[in-house]
Amino acid sequence: MLTSIIDAFKVPELRKKILFTLGILALYRFGAYVPVPGIPFKEFSDAFAASGASMTMLDLFTGGALSNFSVFSLGIMPYITASIIMQLMQGVIPAVGRWAKEGETGRRKITQVTRFLTLGLGLINAVGYLFLFKSSAYGVVFTSEVPEILTDIIVVFTLVAGTAFIMWMGELITQRGIGNGMSLIIFVSIVSRVPAAIFSSVNLTGDTGMGIAVTLLIVLVVLLCIPAIIFVERAQRRIPVNYAKRVQGRKMMGGQSTYIPLKVNAAGVIPIIFASCLIYFPAQIAALFNIGWLTAAADAMSTGWINWLLTLALIVFFAYFYTSMVFNPEETSDNLRKQGGFIPGVRPGSATTQYIKNVINRVTLPGGLFIALIAVVPSILFYFTGNQLIQAFGGTSILIMIGVALDTMSKLESQLKMYNYDGFFK
């Protein structure tokens, strides 16, 4: 791996992309510590430390920006929520479904609508956080000499502008850097909380020796789980395909054998992100209205057995949903028929389509259940132990980190092979 990284820096174009990506991510982390105008930093930090579980989890995905009430307090969640809505609308609104099939032009339309929807959700969240933090639960008093209404407008505008800036940075990384910008921002947000979680784990029991032993045990378990997660992430179910021989001019074409690779976890880390956004969306609504029973419901959905069941069900659902979005059995079957290909023992046409659908359904279930269990089991352990390191290295966090790391390494490897260098995967 070290050799591959050195090779990447030998290529000027790749070096610029890597440094550009690192620079944008550093700028994002800097913004997570820039508070909104007039915030009493110390008083707010103390009040946030006593907040509910739902706010703690939202803070994890913002990399601590929410607990600092910084300009990036809303994080990337409004954009992810907007992306989920647009994904769902493709199957509900015919016009949006047609955009998805129009190629680059359609993707631009969807991206533009997603941007405006992100700003709208960001505005709702910003107003909600403002009301929540000014309520009796937090009692934040903004230190400003201007009228209160003007201060509120400045705070809301700053938070929405921060969301737009994060969205812009993510798109810049995707276009001019390495990897998916939004995924890398979530990756950096989660990783940034790990050092503080390690110190918290060491000091949790009050006995430094015991704390170090528990921390090392957690890290060891995580390291043992990583190979299993990578194995499932890269596992494939290969459907054999044969091509009939045919004569084109004076040449005999076809007669080859290949396969259709179906990943066990074709959706990657997307089900985890989508499920997390939907589960913690009530917490954002509770922040907007600040009603006692709504806040209690949001806290119940953020931890405990309700959270575990919802997480399990939503991850499996989104695993099937996203796989159906990215892989079309009808289109694959039609392309095989046009190219003279066929699956041995299966008739071309509708029989081939149904066969591929059945294979996808059988393969997606164990993949979805695996990532769901990886996400839920650490949450259960954290619920009973209260160890922050389990939360930081929890199933959701580690799956996102490994998924994003593998995706980024794959894209960097494809770039390396263009310049005749060996990649990361030997």
The total number of structural domains in the chain stands at 2
Domain CATH code at residue 47? 1.10.3370.10
Residue 424 in domain: no
Residue 425 in domain: no
Q: Based on the domain organization, do 184 and 267 belong to the same domain?
A: no
Q: Based on the domain organization, do 257 and 363 belong to the same domain?
A: yes
- Residue 298 exposed, middle or buried by CB count within 10 Å (0-12, 13-18, 19+): buried
Opening angle at CA 75, ends 376 and 63, nearest 5: 60
Q: Based on the domain organization, do 183 and 202 belong to the same domain?
A: no
| Cβ atoms within 10 Å, residue 146 | 12
Domain end among 170, 192, 214:
192
Residue 414 in domain: no
What tokens appear for 346 in the block?
């299966």
Q: Based on the domain organization, do 377 and 294 belong to the same domain?
A: yes
pLDDT in tens, the chain (426 residues): 566 677 777 777 888 888 898 999 999 888 888 888 777 766 677 666 655 555 666 677 777 777 778 888 888 888 887 887 887 787 778 887 788 777 778 888 888 888 899 999 888 888 877 777 776 656 666 666 667 778 788 888 988 999 999 999 988 988 888 888 888 888 888 888 777 777 777 776 666 777 788 778 878 887 887 888 888 878 888 888 887 766 565 665 556 777 888 888 887 777 877 777 777 677 667 666 666 677 777 777 777 778 788 888 888 888 888 888 777 788 888 888 877 777 888 888 888 888 888 888 888 888 888 888 887 887 777 777 767 677 666 666 777 778 788 778 878 777 777 766 555 555
Q: Based on the domain organization, do 377 and 327 belong to the same domain?
A: yes
Q: Based on the domain organization, do 80 and 135 belong to the same domain?
A: yes
Q: What is the pTM of this model?
A: 0.74
Q: Based on the domain organization, do 86 and 40 belong to the same domain?
A: yes
**156, 123 Cβ separation under 8 angstroms:** yes
- How far is the C-alpha of 405 from the C-alpha of 180, rounded, in Å? 10
Measured in whole angstroms, the distance separating CA 79 from the mean position of its chain's CA atoms is 11
- Residues spanned by the domain of 217: 194-393
Nearest alpha carbon to residue 65 among 180, 186, 200 = 186
Please state, in angstroms and as integers, the Cα–Cα distance from residue 23 to each residue in 26, 33, 369, 402, following that order. 5, 16, 37, 21
Please state, in angstroms and as integers, the Cα–Cα distance from residue 309 to each residue in 55, 301, 306, 377, following that order. 20, 10, 5, 11
